[in-house]
Structure 1
């Protein structure tokens, strides 16, 4: 496999583990006090980059799909690998809520609405904007390659200014922001798709890479310390610096993605780690689909304190490992392997 696929696989696996750490760190949203607040806020902000990185990986791997197959095949593959698993596991989530947690039964119309709004398993929200991103690829990929660097950089830059940066600046200064200024051509998470393509296809000088590392650390620090400074006096979580398209998240994700691309030489020296990531990468989509059930059920049945640092770190690794094992077993069953995107 190519070097590009190597670092993409490492980024994919690390992002998947990071997502699970976030979900095991759910105590953050209860706004705990004392040391628990600081450790939960640290984990929440330090691992805020995985979702943006998933969108960046899509930009890096799918923008050039026309070089490999037609748009029709592109959509066929996306349906097989993402839409069908989403629908299957959404149905499982309905049954899980009704029979395991004894939720009141909804009618057919409300159940369909609940699936589309990811009511039954909230973390499946990710798939809805992902599908929207997929529908945008035929338009973006139609831009000639010789123009992409300029066009994509311009769109991403304007989106960062008018969608990521200025709304938060206006909030902090007590001004009202007119969202009509936001760039329509790059709504939602498209900024990450464009940045992911740019980082993976155009080389950065060493000084530029180090600058992005500093920007990434600064993005994390702004969210971490900003959330501290605003939330503690308010007695509740203030989300001014949160949001995946907010400027701290964009800064952090860009630094992380640059790191993954240019740390390839280091991964080569860790040959065993590289091989593990290459093997696990094909299961990350399935891991994302199944891990939430373990995050809920394991602490309940084993009477684990979800506020303990052990659960929020080692527990996350355990959930990742068990989820990967489940996906491995499913992958060996031809009839149902498609339900995890294989």
Structure 2
């Protein structure tokens, strides 16, 4: 039986909150902030976007830590049955709801063909992009779990190393030389984030010596500063470089979670939270962590609907308040309301398929 690690509940809580922050107050255009010149609010959006980009990677790492040793607990058949019930069915059901209440709100025709196209391309509910990656990972879990179960620590580290090279190193080479390498298709893992899942298992199950933890933390601080400085520099002082991603005028390439700097930061954060485990000793704290963490998947599912339908009406109440106040209360409003709805839905017996 796998021992409960309460820092994983803390992971789930802060990752879901980070996702809400990223989707509410890190887009300057959405906040009405000009991106043509540097300003306090523009820099604040950039820094918050970089800092709170850890939400989905932490979720990936937690997923890897939880499922890659599933063979010690149940069969592959049971593994897929659980994933279908807990992830795939809610994803499909909420995508159908999103097709009518988010995709349809944009004025697109609500036809079966449009649903199929939008569903397959991930265009129904934008934040649901992570489902496609995590489902791809689940498809690979049966053979990745064999590496975990029967491979040595060095083999597991080698696997992570190869994924880092393919998923974070080659994209940088492509940027530097304006090329498109074909090497990425040769690694038998689905998606550009597989390194997070395996690194999550590794950091959760392998004891990292103190000196190595300090090295990881130091590297993460350097990488975080690099992300911030490089993003600002290439957004405002070096424009229109081929291969860079400039949505709304802001370069997102350097803090993209598929890149090596972000990977270093996420690993350090996961490791730091793991080191908090002995401090989560209070029975009351553990009970509350478990209870709140149980709502996090519902928050992932529900918060896009709150943002689309209720955030603007909510903000009409605070039109006279400074933008900084709005940036403080918007994520809290979306997070708390999403949590409340998830809690209510979970208490309705027949709706457990929607929010497991």
TM-score above 0.5: yes
1:132 corresponds to which of 110, 133, 136: 136
1:251 corresponds to which of 233, 246, 264: 264
Provide the rounded CA distance (Å) in 2 between the counterparts of 1:109 and 1:280: 38
Question: Quick check: 207-216 or 174-183, which moved more?
Answer: 174-183
Provide the rounded CA distance (Å) in 2 between the counterparts of 1:64 and 1:57: 12
Provide the rounded CA distance (Å) in 1 between the counterparts of 2:340 and 2:95: 21
1:184 corresponds to which of 183, 187, 190: 187
1:314–1:169: structure 2 CA closer, same or farther, 3 Å change rule? farther
Indicate the residue corresponding to 2:198 in structure 1: 194
Provide the rounded CA distance (Å) in 1 between the counterparts of 2:85 and 2:342: 16
CA contact (8 A) 1:291 1:319 kept: yes
CA contact (8 A) 1:227 1:237 kept: yes
1:183–1:243: structure 2 CA closer, same or farther, 3 Å change rule? farther
Provide the rounded CA distance (Å) in 2 between the counterparts of 1:28 and 1:266: 37
1:26–1:296: structure 2 CA closer, same or farther, 3 Å change rule? farther
Indicate the residue corresponding to 1:87 in structure 2: 92
Indicate the residue corresponding to 1:281 in structure 2: 293
Indicate the residue corresponding to 1:324 in structure 2: 339
1:207 correspondence with 2:211: yes
Cα distance, 1:108 vs structure 2: 1.2
1:295 correspondence with 2:298: no
Cα distance, 1:59 vs structure 2: 1.0
CA contact (8 A) 1:155 1:186 kept: no
CA contact (8 A) 2:26 2:46 kept: no
1:336 correspondence with 2:341: no
1:72 corresponds to which of 77, 84, 88: 77
Cα distance, 1:144 vs structure 2: 5.9
- The structure showing larger relative contact order (alpha-carbon pairs under 8 Å, at least 6 residues apart) is 1
Provide the rounded CA distance (Å) in 2 between the counterparts of 1:337 and 1:311: 34
Indicate the residue corresponding to 1:28 in structure 2: 28
The runs of at least 4 consecutive aligned structure 1 residues that moved more than 6 Å come to none
Cα distance, 1:212 vs structure 2: 1.3
TM-score, normalised to structure 2, is 0.87
Indicate the residue corresponding to 2:60 in structure 1: 55
Question: Quick check: 6-15 or 207-216, which moved more?
Answer: 207-216
- Write out per-residue CA displacement over residues 80-139 of structure 1, whole angstroms, 9 at most, x where no aligned residue: 10111011111111110366x261314312211212223121111110111000011111
Cα distance, 1:214 vs structure 2: 1.6
1:231 correspondence with 2:240: no
RMSD: 2.5
How many residue pairs end up in the alignment? 338
Structure 1 unaligned residues grouped into runs of 5+: none
1:71–1:146: structure 2 CA closer, same or farther, 3 Å change rule? closer
> Secondary structure of the equivalent of 2:349?
coil
1:221–1:322: structure 2 CA closer, same or farther, 3 Å change rule? same
Provide the rounded CA distance (Å) in 2 between the counterparts of 1:114 and 1:87: 12
Cα distance, 1:53 vs structure 2: 1.1
Provide the rounded CA distance (Å) in 2 between the counterparts of 1:26 and 1:260: 24
TM-score, normalised to structure 1, is 0.90
Indicate the residue corresponding to 1:111 in structure 2: 115
- Write out per-residue CA displacement over residues 199-220 of structure 1, whole angstroms, 9 at most, x where no aligned residue: 0111011111121112222222
Structure 2 unaligned residues grouped into runs of 5+: 241-248
Cα distance, 1:189 vs structure 2: 1.5
1:182–1:223: structure 2 CA closer, same or farther, 3 Å change rule? farther
> Secondary structure of the equivalent of 1:238?
coil
CA contact (8 A) 1:159 1:182 kept: no
1:307–1:162: structure 2 CA closer, same or farther, 3 Å change rule? farther
CA contact (8 A) 1:291 1:323 kept: yes
